[in-house]
Amino acid sequence: MLTTTNSVLLLRLQQRNKVNTMYSHLNALELRLSNTKRRATNCKPHQATFWAVTIAQIEREIIGEYKFLGIVPATVGELTDDELLNELS
């Protein structure tokens, strides 16, 4: 039997899971990119091209996922350290 409190908690849990699953593919891609970059740092010279192409493909896939989800990726402007500190204070 669901009480009002339990039904509200259940609804919140369902909404949270919906948000988590909505970004799960993006999260998986970003983790894959991170792992691939880590593996690429320890590669042999003749493997460098392979890893560069693989990283570029994953980055393109992430951009496509951002577009699909309607997310505008944050960009870092060309600020000097002093300008950044002024903006933060």
- What is the domain partition of the chain in residue ranges? 18-72
Cα dist. 47→17, 32, 68 in Å? 40, 18, 32
> Alpha helix locations (H) across 23-47?
24-41
pLDDT score of 16: 64
Compute the average pLDDT of residues 66-86. Answer: 79
**pLDDT digits 0-9 by tens, 13-33:** 666 655 566 788 888 999 999
**What residue type is 20 in one-letter code?**
N
Q: What is the pTM of this model?
A: 0.62
